[in-house]
Amino acid sequence: MKLRPWNSLKINECNEPLISIPKSIFRITPHPYMSLGAPYLTGADPWVLRRSVLKRLVCAQQHLSEINPQLQLALFDAWRPISVQNFMFNYTIKEICKSKGIDINDLSLNEGINDVIAEVGRFWAKPSSDPLTPPPHSTGAAVDLTLADMNGKPLDLGGEIDFIGPESSPDFYKNDSLKMPYSKHHIFQDRRSLLFSVMEHAGFVQHPNEWWHFSYGDQLWSWLSKKGDSIYGAAFEVSNDITLSEPSLVT
């Protein structure tokens, strides 16, 4: 699988700790990947982020409240151990193969399986343990989120989080929105634009293929913002504790 353009960028690990996300930031529960049996260590908390990332997330929530007090951010996922990234990467490949009628164990279908892997790879980062190419969520720098009302009901933004397909592109509905100002597509684009604006205001960048994915301080952020080297490498779990990668592992 080809590396993404941002994977070649330097990481200057700052060794910020992972901090628990306060419950004042609404989260979608039960946690979607835990529900699928993803291999989190016993007691591991997926609702953590690097300290500066969390501060910016709180700022984004405050900014949204100022713009529209009837809405709140709704977290879908935050920190993701590499073991979980690997589980979800493979789970998604299997599910898409199943939906396409591809027998993943049939070696004669290698070409079709490779096409699925390439398709999944546009959305799911390779579950690499290479300290030079950490998956964004494994750094504690990335969040997947949407908008919800104050009762905790997620709004419809025209596509499910983690959906593999063109509808997941942030601007998928932009052209239709301009042509049909009173359509559902216009509503979807307005909501996506609102989410982008509050996250950008707080310093986040958006994944080019995923309307729900935002990050600060990782390689994607460095590539899109052009504000210097990334400052977060992978954050690993040890036993029931969460610790950061050793500085010597990251260049």
Among the options 119, 210, 237, 246, which is catalytic? 210
Provide the token pair at 170: 């942030």
Measured from the Cβ of residue 20, the count of other Cβ atoms closer than 10 Å reads 12
44: left (phi over 0), alpha (psi -120 to 50) or beta: beta
Please state the three-class secondary structure of the chain as a single string.
Answer: CCCCHHHHCCECCCCCCEEECCCCCCECCCCHHHHCCCCCCCCCCCCEEEHHHHHHHHHHHHHHHHHCCCEEEEEEECCCCHHHHHHHHHHHHHHHHHHCCCCCCCHHHHHHHHHHHHHHHCCCCCCCCCCCCCCHHHHCCEEEEEEEECCCCECCCCCCCCCCCHHHCCCCCHHHHHHCCCCHHHHHHHHHHHHHHHHHHCCCEECCCCCCEEECCCHHHHHHHCCCCECCCCEEEECCEEEECCHHHCC
Catalytic residue check, 200? no
φ and ψ at 160, to 5 degrees? Answer: -75, 145
| Amino acid residing at 161 | I
Count of residues making up the chain: 251
Which residues are known to be catalytic?
210
